[in-house]
Structure 1
Amino acid sequence: MSAALSCIRMERESRMNPTDSPREVSGLLEHRLPQSSALTGRAYAVTLPDGELALDFGEHTVAWRLPDGTGGTDPYDAVEAAVDCFFVDIWCRSSDARRSLTLVLQRATGRTLLVETVADTSRHDVPVAFEHRFALGMLRGVEAAGVEQPGPTAELLGRRLLSVYSADLVFEQIYLNSSSVAWQCIRGWEPGANDTDEATYWRFAENLYVFGFREEAALSSSVFLLDLANNRSTGKYLGLDEHGALANGALGAVLLPLEASTYPRGMEPR
């Protein structure tokens, strides 16, 4: 996966504006689900632990405002990644290009999960470092009695998946423990390339998982919604391009489950 994101730097970057669709980046979008217009013309208020996130969706752009008052209007990418479950990504360039907002939104239950990606360019040891901030939310006005609440999970640990971005681009992921993922390039940019990176795992609903990882070597970060019922992955990245500038774009893959590891009781990874 790290190599997959690195190979984007060898392509024309997706800048997520109405005239430059994320679908135009080759290789990593062949199996991405289509963009959805279901949110166009709708406004949502998301109750978060520290306040309210306001979203007003137009045809190509969304007006957004965070609980701290920071806001702007930017292009967005929306995909119905599972039935009535939307993966929405906003690169906050109108306010601060070092920030992106990824929202998983289920309208029927009102459940949301916000992943704020923040790029720290002030460090002296690396050009950029990334942080993911996960925040559970609820759509204002939707009653969620009896609905499962998303939260951190260990359910993916020990699993192995192949992410098939295209016939020529395949990566394997092994979910090692609650803070790490291992990957290797099976086919594509650099077969055999591999690494272990920081990761965060949340269960959103049955067979739906939100997976974020930060790649130190590739100077990039990614957020994915894994639909294990239909074996699809919908994601985004924020990272440095070949010119050292921040770039934000889309990812999507077909998932092929491999044999999972079974650990003896009391020896499960944490």
Structure 2
Amino acid sequence: MTLSDTSTWLPLDGLAPGFDANKAPLTGDLHGRAFVLRDDAGGPGFTWDGTEAETFLVDDGLYYVQPHPGAAREAVSLILDVRDGRALVVTTRIGDAGTPRVTQEFRPATIDGAEVRGEAMAPSTALIGRRVVWVYSEDHAYEHVYLSPHWYTWQCLAGPERGLADTDENSVYRVRPGIHVFAWREKVISCASVTIADHRNARALRSHGVLFGLDHTGEDTTCFTFGAHGRLLSTTVHPAGLDPAEH
């Protein structure tokens, strides 16, 4: 693999073996429960019947749910806060062209029939300036630098992509205090990710997520969930008037 020659970079399915070693155990807390999610903006709602998905417990009453996309070129990720009646629906789509080729749509929602409390899940600038290391297995580790509401930089510190780095699009949504959805869309490899990350303890960060995109054929899709343990390395504080979070 030549670092500067992006044509030699691994396809998404080449990353998968062992990448999910730090994935959290699945939970059956929501099994058999159906959820109707009402779009806060009045758009189409979403219904999940409680089956055909991987479900992870993030915090008390807070779940990340990854329904199986099958062979479709669209995947939906759900953040369900059953304590506060809030939700976030993230739809990831693989397009025919464009940069990035994989795009994402974020729709805050409420859970039908639940008592709704607190703030809606909404875009956040809270991660800007943070530099974090994420460890996905004994062999896979990446560094993230959160630059602005639109960009972040990643660098592989260990694993088959060691030495590779790039700056890609990102989106961040506040879920609860200190807990954020962090999603990214790569321009070199046709893939995108949705993660939910708990940043409350700087020495013991935890994330759960999914990668979805095209495999080595460039035609078929691949999708896998993973988890990571992280640590805050440093925080950059910009001078007044030069803070990317202000733009």
TM above 0.5, yes or no, is: yes
Partner of 1:138: 110
Given that 2:132 and 2:233 are in contact with CA atoms closer than 8 Å, whether structure 1 keeps it comes out as: yes
1:10 aligns to what? 14
* Pairing partner for 1:236 from 168, 187, 210: 210
- 2:163 partner amino acid: G
1:8 Cα offset (Å): 4.9
**Aligned counterpart in structure 1 of residue 187 of structure 2, from 197, 202, 216:** 216
- CA deviation string 1:179-231 (max 9, x = no partner): 01100011111322100001111111111101111101011100110111251
The Cα of 1:27 is off from its aligned counterpart by 2.2
Structure 1 segment 97-176 matched on structure 2, within 5 A:
97-121=72-96, 123=97, 129-145=101-117, 147-176=118-147
Please report how far the alpha carbon of residue 92 of structure 1 lies from its aligned counterpart in structure 2 after TM superposition. 3.3
Instruction: After the TM superposition, list the runs of 4 or more consecutive aligned residues in structure 1 that deviate by more than 3 angstroms.
Output: 5-8
* Letter matched to residue 115 of structure 2: E
Question: Residues 160 and 173 of structure 1 are in contact (CA less than 8 Å); yes or no, is this contact kept in structure 2?
Answer: yes
> Which residue identity lines up with residue 236 of structure 1 in the other structure?
V
SS of match in other structure, 1:177: coil
TM-score (norm 1): 0.80
TM-score (ref. length: structure 2): 0.88
Question: Alpha-carbon deviation of 1:6?
Answer: 4.1
Q: Distance in 2 between matches of 1:214 and 1:237?
A: 10
Percent identity, aligned pairs only, is 28
| Unaligned residue ranges in structure 2 (runs of 5+) | 1-5
User: What root-mean-square deviation, in Å, do the aligned CA atoms of Structure 1 and Structure 2 show?
Assistant: 2.0
Residue type matched to 2:45 in 1?
Answer: E
**How many Å separate the matches in 2 of 1:6 and 1:100?**
22
Q: Is the 8 A contact 2:12 2:189 kept in 1?
A: no
The equivalent residue for 1:44 is: 35
User: Which residue of 1 is the match for residue 165 of structure 2?
Assistant: 194
- Residues 11, 189 of structure 2: 8 Å contact kept: no
Measured in 1, the distance between the counterparts of 2:173 and 2:48 equals 23
Kindly state the Cα deviation for residue 7 of structure 1 after the two structures are TM-superposed.
6.5
Query: Distance between the aligned counterparts of 1:238 and 1:190, measured in 2?
Result: 18
Tell me the CA shift for residue 83 of structure 1. 2.3
Distance 2:207 2:162 in 1: 21
Distance 1:135 1:214 in 2: 17
Alpha-carbon contact 1:119-1:129 (below 8 Å) kept: yes
* Counterpart in the other structure of 1:71: none
